[in-house]
Amino acid sequence: MITFTSWERFCLSVQRSGIEVCLPRELKKMSPSRMSKCLIMKHDVEADISKALKLAELENRCGMRAVYYVHSFYLDALKDRRSLQKIASLGHEIGYHYDVMDNNEGDYTRATAEFALTLELFNEFGLTIESTCPHGNPMKERDGWFSNKDFFRNPDTKRNFPELLDVVIGLEDLVGPDYLYISDSGYKLCIVGDIKNNDRPDFQSGSDEKIGELDQALKLAQETDNITFISVHSHRLEESLYRAYARVLLFKTAKKVARIAYKSTIGRAFMNRYYYLSKRI
Ligand SMILES: [Zn+2]
């Protein structure tokens, strides 16, 4: 269970450990030996940008830097754009959490147009995007594409946007396949066995390994011979353990309801239509 307080303790432990914290935008300029000792703190910002800003300020006070992968809808309102600019001004990296394949029903041409336009918008608001991360939509029904990860699997994307590092699809080219990717995706920290391929239908599930709390994540980062990512959703952090438990309860209930609804045609159609709501949980 991660709260703002436990994340602060984690940041202070990281600082005391002496482990180098780096940002995805810095990786391309690093030597492989230096890169292999790095820890990257990553936050996907799906909802509640005020929490992301609060987290960014907390990390800044602890002398930490992180990458915040944000959806394009945060560019719509002035207030949200100001929050992003403030996060960037604290030394953090703003990356693009793209949803372009699902948004365009797997149409690669339309997805590319949306992606390019969004990069221009980020740029216009003083936010230069140097790295990206695909968003997952567990409730989306697909025919002809596996997930948003397909966007950077397409060689045309790498040709069209050569300066971008996609931290899910492109990281292996930089550091090899054995990097450590720790995520809170199921509300419990786990080592994700194969983040690059776990959307494919032939993927063998069961390769993820649950770990304990944040202190164990740091221990693993210190022990590994390769780069470590720790990915925590900013909107899931709460002030108190009581609120954090309530959030987990909501998540588990929503998951159960979704599983039951998915068994009926109407339920499946409803979830497919409103798949984007799962971001908020
Ligand atoms: Zn996401």
C-alpha–C-alpha distance, residues 232 and 250, integer Å: 18
Q: CA-CA distance, 234 to 240, in Å (whole number)?
A: 14
Q: What is the DSSP letter of 278?
A: G
- Pick the range with the lowest mean pLDDT from 33-37, 62-66, 195-199, 272-276: 272-276
**How many angstroms does the Cα of residue 223 sit away from the middle of ligand 1?**
28
Residue 250 has pLDDT above 90, yes or no: no
Cα(135) to centroid of ligand 1, in Å? 4
CB proximity list for 143: less than 8 A, separation 6 or greater:
106
Q: Cα dist. 167→9, 96, 175 in Å?
A: 26, 11, 11
Contacts for 190-197: CB closer than 8 Å, 24+ residues apart: 191/220, 195/168, 196/149, 196/168, 196/169, 196/171, 196/172
The CA 136 to ligand 1 mean position distance, Å, reads 5
Helix (H, G, I), strand (E, B) or coil at 203: coil
Distance 72 CA to ligand 1 centre (A): 12
Q: What average pLDDT score do residues 17-33 get? A: 93
Which pLDDT score, from 0 to 100, does residue 185 have?
81
Give 96 Cα–ligand 1 centroid separation in angstroms.
Answer: 10
From ligand 1's centre to the CA of 63, what distance in Å?
26
The beta-carbon contacts of 76-81 under 8 Å, at least 24 apart in sequence, are 80/49, 81/125
Q: Are 92 and 68 in contact (CB under 8 A)?
A: yes
How far, in whole angstroms, is CA 161 from its chain's centroid? 20
Give me the percent of the chain exceeding a pLDDT of 70: 92
Mean pLDDT along residues 108-129:
98
**262 Cα: distance to centroid of ligand 1 (angstroms):** 21
Tell me: pLDDT of 28 over 90. no
Task: Give pLDDT tens digits for 168-186.
Answer: 999 999 988 889 999 998 7
Q: How far is the CA of 211 from the centre of ligand 1 (A)?
A: 21
Mean per-residue pLDDT, 77-92: 98
- CB neighbours (10 Å) of residue 195? 23
179 CA from centroid of ligand 1 (Å): 20
Distance CA 247, CA 245 (A): 5
CATH code for 4-240? 3.20.20
Q: Where are the domains of the chain?
A: 4-240
Mean pLDDT computed over every residue of the chain = 91
* Residue 47 CA to ligand 1 centre (angstroms): 10
Q: How far is the CA of 185 from the centre of ligand 1 (A)?
A: 9
Note the pLDDT tens digit of each residue in 201-237. Answer: 888 777 789 998 899 999 999 999 999 999 999 999 9
With a cut of 90, say whether residue 120 has pLDDT above it: yes
> What pLDDT does 61 receive?
97
CA of 267 to the centre of ligand 1 (A): 22
CA 17 to ligand 1 center in whole angstroms: 29
Listed in sequence order, the DSSP H helices in the chain are 4-17, 24-27, 32-35, 49-61, 78-89, 100-103, 108-124, 150-153, 155-160, 171-175, 214-223, 241-262, 265-273
Q: Which of 59-73, 74-88, 105-119, 193-207 has the lowest mean pLDDT?
A: 193-207
Residues 231-248: what's their mean pLDDT? Answer: 83
How many angstroms is it from 248 CA to the middle of ligand 1? 17
